[in-house]
Amino acid sequence: MDTGDRLLTPGEVAALFRVDPKTVTRWAAAGRIGSIRTPGGHRRFRESEVRALLEGEGAAVVEEMREDDANNRPRNAGPTNPGTSYGPPNGLR
């Protein structure tokens, strides 16, 4: 994997997350996402990093709820990585 990550523009990342490009800029400013700056000051994001965020953060039961587990229904039994520390690296709160 030679870093074949393509660089995405804020608008691309914003469309992926369904947020405003400005919000993506704030993530980079807050250090929540890696950003590469162009000589002009614009930012570029790595596709691998964006994809990791999209699928890794909330990866939950994408499968339909099957009845085969009628044995019992653990509400939170997913490997969802429970307190995954979704983020606030800085104990902001």
Partner DNA sequence: CCCTAGTGGGGTAATTGGGGGA
Partner DNA sequence: TGTGTCCCAATTACCCCACTAG
Binding site residues, DNA, CB under 7 A? 9-12, 14, 18-29, 38-43, 88, 92-93
Nearest CB to its own copies, comparing residues 21 and 78: 78
> Rounded CA gap, 6 and 44, in Å?
9
**Residue 22 CB, nearest approach to DNA (Å):** 4
- Residue 38 in tokens: 């162009």
The entry of its own copies, DNA, none that residue 22 binds, CB within 5 to 8 Å by partner kind: DNA
Contacts of 24 (CB under 8 A, 6+ apart): 10, 13, 14, 17, 33, 45
> Rounded CA gap, 18 and 27, in Å?
14
The entry of DNA, its own copies, none that residue 50 binds, CB within 5 to 8 Å by partner kind: none
> Rounded CA gap, 59 and 66, in Å?
18
| 6 is a contact residue toward its own copies (CB under 8 A) | yes
Neighbours of 25 (CB within 10 A): 17
In the complex, the residues that contact its own copies under the rule CB under 8 A are 6-9, 17-19, 23, 26-28, 30-41, 43-44, 49, 52-54, 57-58, 60-70, 72-73, 75-78, 80, 86-88
